Structure 1
């Protein structure tokens, strides 16, 4: 939570973010079309309107452009007649190339790009939903001037895009070996992994908090999905529970707001496996980031001595 914001402003910000998320789910229910639901929009609403994360709002135009284009990439790749894992690998590479071209580190663009594969999206309502909600998020940032005073350009460490791809390729290989290809993509986890890779400092305490928070979030989402019939009620309850969860754990992690919406768009047989999958994926990815960050801190001279 942005501690610099007055309490009333925080309450209003949360209210508008929650309303947007509920409207999205309600529209899906009314239209009887799950492709209207974009779990990452929940994370973006919280990160941009409530936390006012500089990394997500410094270039408002990209709030609309980046997720829209990556969603288009994923939607197009999903039409190819290749295996699911092949689609995932190709989409990840194209997303990283696109983000490098536009010089953006907007992590939720990864989730919107992979979502069409997870949903097996074939209807244009998915793309229209991305356009609409991304535009609303951008409009909110511009209208309230949330990006004022934030440096528009920041140095991007492009090497971490390659590291991110490497971690994903290893994970995809492991998932292929155990025979659960549908679990190759868990968008909320990947978004957080990409973000922490870009951070100069990362430690085990933060990794543990993130693993715990994401696992609980996935568990709550799956439990509510199988016990309550109303998607709208599930959404309202999950938003409240995630707010409480993050206050208890003591971190800002917008991705936990996306996880409870994942069961609405994942194949039902995968939803039951989501909590354990979220835990294993989180341990693998955040453990890999920790190991890489520690390796980075070792002077190159010592590494050369070991190799000799």
Structure 2
């Protein structure tokens, strides 16, 4: 939905990848999830495998990062998971092609090794902290990992932007969890979630496509984890995006100055 609404050029410049990459990463995540290894090792293997595949294509599609982690964090073992990813990705690609949403957008690769290195480092540090504090189940939340990567690619990233992102992400999942307690019909919830997320983003004057996917985690996450999502999301967003802010404010500028010199 966010892809069609905001029409981000970095997401649209290779329409075929809108289908190919999420499908590939979903298969990778699904297969690794079947391996008899610990939860955190599964996440590490998926991260490495996804980045390797995207390096081969010389292209990063942020939502494909989420679809790779999704089968692990949602404990998906049924083939219906892959079918749903294939169908959704195909519909999204078809919409871009039929309505020519990519018209005038230059087709080019966008794999930036430095930014990918920073993204991977932040993600791995998050895994390590989750292991240290014994909260492995909350080591990664797919929409947040997408926002982390996107934030590394923004033209400018201020403290105000960081605080607004954390607030929007935390509020979006908090509202979804709260509403699920009162409304059991998932179709009705879906119809409510979409305009609600639109209004939330308008209120904060933000463009975060991943927010539209965030509420749906209440449908796919293990039920014993759903009630912990608001707090976990706030902490994870605060830490991960805080790392992005520190990097963008200090280390990225230092690198740019050295390159200029």
* Structure 1 runs, 4 residues or longer, greater than 4 Å off: 299-302
Pairwise CA distance, 1:198: 2.3
Task: Quote the Cα distance in structure 1 between the aligned partners of 2:203 and 2:107.
Answer: 33
Between structure 1 and structure 2, the one with the greater Rg is: 1
Say if 1:300 and 1:232 are closer, same or farther in 2 by CA, change over 3 A: closer
Say if 1:273 and 1:157 are closer, same or farther in 2 by CA, change over 3 A: same
The equivalences for 1:200-239 within 5 A come to 200-239=155-194
Task: Quote the Cα distance in structure 2 between the aligned partners of 1:204 and 1:236.
Answer: 33
Residue 197 (structure 2) aligned to one of 231, 234, 242: 242
Partner of 1:121, secondary structure, is coil
Say if 1:170 and 1:144 are closer, same or farther in 2 by CA, change over 3 A: same
Pairwise CA distance, 1:248: 0.6
Q: Which residue of structure 2 lines up, in the alignment, with residue 135 of structure 1?
A: 90
Residue 117 (structure 1) aligned to one of 60, 72, 83: 72
The equivalences for 1:16-165 within 5 A come to 45-47=1-3, 49-165=4-120
TM-score normalized with structure 1 length: 0.80
Q: Structure 2: state its 5+ residue gaps.
A: none
Task: Quote the Cα distance in structure 2 between the aligned partners of 1:155 and 1:104.
Answer: 5
Q: Structure 1: state its 5+ residue gaps.
A: 1-44, 303-308
Say if 1:130 and 1:155 are closer, same or farther in 2 by CA, change over 3 A: closer
CA contact 2:11–2:61 (8 Å) conserved in 1: yes
Q: Which residue of structure 2 lines up, in the alignment, with residue 166 of structure 1?
A: 121
Task: Quote the Cα distance in structure 2 between the aligned partners of 1:101 and 1:196.
Answer: 23
TM-score normalized with structure 2 length: 0.95
Further displaced range: 160-169 or 107-116: 160-169
How big is each residue's C-alpha offset from its partner over 1:63-93, in whole Å with a ceiling of 9 and x where there is no partner?
0000000000000100100001110111011
CA RMSD in angstroms, aligned pairs only: 1.4
Q: Which residue of structure 2 lines up, in the alignment, with residue 286 of structure 1?
A: 241
When the two structures are aligned, how many residues end up with a matched partner?
257
Say if 1:141 and 1:283 are closer, same or farther in 2 by CA, change over 3 A: same
How big is each residue's C-alpha offset from its partner over 1:29-53, in whole Å with a ceiling of 9 and x where there is no partner?
xxxxxxxxxxxxxxxx222x22111
How big is each residue's C-alpha offset from its partner over 1:196-231, in whole Å with a ceiling of 9 and x where there is no partner?
112342111111111111000010111112221111
Pairwise CA distance, 1:137: 0.6
CA contact 1:157–1:198 (8 Å) conserved in 2: no
CA contact 1:118–1:265 (8 Å) conserved in 2: no
